[in-house]
Amino acid sequence: MGSKVEYVESSHIYATNYVRNSKAIGVLWGIFTICYAIIVVVAFVTPEWIGDTLESEYPGRFGLWARCYFHSSSGGGEDCQGSLDDLSTVSSPAFRAATVFVGLAVILALLAICAMLLFFFFQSTTVFHVCAWIQVSSAVCLIVGVVTYPAGWDASEVRRTCGTSAGRYELGECGLRWAYLLGVIGCLDAVILAALAFILATRHVRLQVEPGYTANGSLYKGEVNGGFVGDAQSVGGSRKSLNLHPVLLMPQPHHPGGETDRFSEFSNRTGRSKSSAYRAEYASSIQNFQL
């Protein structure tokens, strides 16, 4: 038996493709959510937000809550100061505020990863909404921390390395390091992830129900009269029928006496049947039987 090709509606195919694509995008969203958490954690713990340049007299590097100075007289070692346990050891109030806000961004980023476990218990729409609002809050906290941090560049510890020209939002002789740029990238990442989560939550569609077939493989219910089926319909459900009726050609039987079957004498054309579609002269020796 040959294989039967089944045709479905185009809307069903589009819905199937949309669901598959949305699942793939959801997986990518989850992966980049984990990457975002790694970014903010690294930016939070690394003292590489600003640092000295070739023009700096006293080499050093600064983070949110830690600062490290390089002492050439002590064998090339670093002296790092500052602790999360005691925020009073942080250089300036602006640095302390930035530390608090970025720390909240880290906690919310980790909370968004934990919230993804809710996919096993609740509908995906609800979970995407929850994660989206968490990521929005994390993005706001991280943006506030990144914007507040330059306000502390006028601290005495910073001006020791960056020179007297350093001030609020003025680096002086220092330069931005990779951790600060990583924080800026994290802000953009959080905003994009939150927007994507809202899109996945609001544009979620269900897969349409498969079309039901009858016992004979047809999409129609009950019996279908083949004489009323158009070209765009199919009785068998496998392909479009051309509404052609098969015809069997059979030769007329010959009798031993040389006589053949003929029409009755009463079936000849009369004067009243001149407009008849039948013409005796076009009679064929082949009889057509429609199946």
- pTM score over 0.95: no
Amino acid of residue 86: D
Q: What per-residue string of b and e applies to 252-287 under the rule 16 or more CB within 10 Å gives b? A: eeeeeeeeeeeeeeeeeeeeeeeeeeeeeeeeeeee
In one letter, which amino acid is 133?
A: W
Contact criterion met (CB below 8 Å) for 92 and 125: no
Helix (H, G, I), strand (E, B) or coil at 78: strand
What pLDDT, on a 0 to 100 scale, did the predictor assign at position 241? 46
Q: At 36, is the secondary structure helix, strand, or coil?
A: helix
Question: 142: part of which helix (H) or strand (E)?
Answer: helix 124-148
The answer to whether 179 and 49 are in contact (CB under 8 A) is: yes
Residue 1: pLDDT band (50, 70, 90) is: very low
Q: For residue 237, is pLDDT > 90? A: no
Judged on CB neighbours under 10 Å (0-12, 13-18, 19+), 104 is: middle
Higher confidence at residue 99 or residue 215? 99
Residue bearing the bigger pLDDT, 28 or 256: 28
Task: Give the mean pLDDT of the chain.
Answer: 75
SS3 of residue 176 by DSSP: strand
User: What is the domain partition of the chain in residue ranges?
Assistant: 26-208
The Cβ of residue 35 has, within 10 Å, a number of other Cβ atoms equal to 12
pLDDT tens readout for residues 184-232: 999 999 999 999 999 988 875 544 455 554 454 555 455 555 555 555 5
Residue (of 145, 162, 148, 146) closest to 69 by Cα position:
162
11 — pLDDT class (breaks 50, 70, 90): low
The b-or-e profile of 170-194 (16+ CB within 10 A means b, else e) is ebbbbeebebbebbeebbebbbebb
- For residue 73, the model assigns a pLDDT of 53
CA nearest 53: which of 177, 183, 178, 181?
177
Give residue-wise pLDDT tens across range 244-289.
555 555 555 555 555 555 555 555 555 555 555 555 554 444 455 4
Tell me the average pLDDT across 26-39: 93
d(CA 69, CA 59): 6
Distance CA 233, CA 219 (A): 10
> The sheet that has 175-176: what strands, in order across it?
77-81, 67-71, 60-62, 50-51, 175-176
> How much of the chain exceeds pLDDT 70, in percent?
61
**CATH number for the domain whose boundaries are 26-208:** 1.20.140.150
Contact 173, 166 (CB under 8 A): yes
